[in-house]
Amino acid sequence: MARPIVRESAQVTGLGVVSAAGSDLETFWGAILSGRPTTTVVPALHDSMIRLGHAVPDGDLDDTVDISVRSRADRFIQLAIAAARKAFEDAGLSEDEVSDLRTAVVIGNSLGGVSTMEVLDRTVRDEGERFVSPLTLPAAINNMAAGYIAMELGCHGPAYVVSTACASSTDALGLAMKLIRSGECDLVIAGGTEAALTAPVTAAFHRMGAIDRSVRAPGGGSRAFASDRSGFTLGEAAAILVVESATSAARRGARTYAEITGYAATNDAYHVTSPEPEGQWYRQAIVGAVADAGIGLHQLDYWNLHGTGTVMNDAVETKVVNSLVGEKVPVSTTKPVTGHCLGAAGAVEAVVALLSILHEAIPPNGNGLDLDPALNPIDLVTIPRTGRVNYAMSSSLGFGGHNAAVVFAKTERTRP
């Protein structure tokens, strides 16, 4: 007789974040609630038209990333290791508990080691091929974010990198949930990382018209959903969640932040960069994630939007939000605070959603700006709100038509 299938629940038992908004949870949450952007002058952009970005202070990596790794791995890998170690510690894990085949690593990343590839290009042009480091490719290819975390923590289960542009780490969290639900894994180190504050990357976004060109001084930020919005400010970050089966968490006596209860992904199949104007496939991702969570749309207490601040994205998102929940669910985007962290954005914003549940507070729209009256009406939060948050959702869109959303739910084991 076939064994009955018992669907495990996917509990989040640890969080780690490394970002311009803070590299510990308390500082990060304080910055998110403030709504104030964290832009600084980025030395790597000194010759660029865009010189500001949301950069992680170098000192934030000193205690978590070994100097030998920093000398041979691209920055996106270093950020991932730092966030993973923080999440690992937050979850109260030991390496003995993750060393078997039932612990996986799933990381979202978009661009890989762009800094390393730029050094490679300069070296070949200016010095010649014989001066190229043999460690160049392992330092740069994006699967190494998962590979390095597995090596650092001793995880012997599957190790994946998901690359769906700016939806990458939302999809990574969805895959982590599925690995737990299916019973394939007991524990997944999941999240996202990106370090693309480089002159070529900012130039490419600038030429695309996606960068907010009005931000000219440190502390300025994008103006998502505002009438004068003109794009995003670029950020770097890593955010990692320890996702664990309820059985494993109970066995360890672990406290949880929440359960991942829903996930869905779709594709517009429309355009390489622009979302489908009516948002019909983004809408389906939202409907699917909420249905997967087993709740109704109006049971959501907070929805963290993608909110890039581009004219098209914000118009499509507000159209979808209005069509699904009107003005009955509080929404905001935190990208003006953290910057747009590309492949890491979904994981960073998942941490925001989880801390919203934990602290029973809804963060404001970054920069605290009012909604453009020309957009569809939504309940855009402009100052922090307090109140019980039972269900929170984070959604992402990415170049190539990618749409994804994850839903989190408070549980009886949620941390006090």
Per-residue 3-state assignment (H helix, E strand, C coil) for 57-125: CHHHHCCCCCHHHHCCCCHHHHHHHHHHHHHHHHCCCCHHHCCCCCEEEEEECCCCCHHHHHHHHHHHH
Cα radius of gyration (the chain): 20
The closest of 85, 63, 81 to 72, measured between CA atoms, is 81
Q: Beginning with the edge strand found earlier in the chain, give each strand of the sheet holding 159-162 in spatial order.
A: 159-162, 103-108, 187-194, 237-245, 10-19, 258-267, 402-409, 391-398, 302-304, 330-332, 379-380
Catalytic sites, residue numbers:
166, 306, 340
HEC secondary structure over 218-261: CCCCCCCCCCCCCCECEECEEEEEEEEEHHHHHHHCCCECEEEE
Q: Which helix (H) or strand (E) holds 159?
A: strand 159-162
Name residue 135's amino acid. Answer: L
Which residues, at least 6 apart from 230, have a Cβ–Cβ distance to it below 8 Å? 212, 213, 214, 223, 309, 310, 311
Task: State the amino acid at position 17 in one-letter form.
Answer: V
Is residue 286 a contact partner of residue 320, using CB atoms and an 8 Å limit? yes
Residue 374 CB coordination number (10 Å): 8
What phi and psi, each to the nearest 5 degrees, are found at residue 240? Answer: -130, 135
How many Cβ atoms are within 10 Å of 271's Cβ, its own excluded?
13
* Contacting residues for 202 by C-beta, under 8 A, at least 6 apart: 45, 48, 49, 50, 53, 211, 234
Measured between alpha carbons, how far is 19 from 55 in angstroms, rounded to an integer?
Answer: 7
Name the burial class of residue 71, with classes exposed (0-12), middle (13-18) and buried (19+) by CB atoms within 10 angstroms of its CB.
exposed
Distance CA 317, CA 265 (A): 15
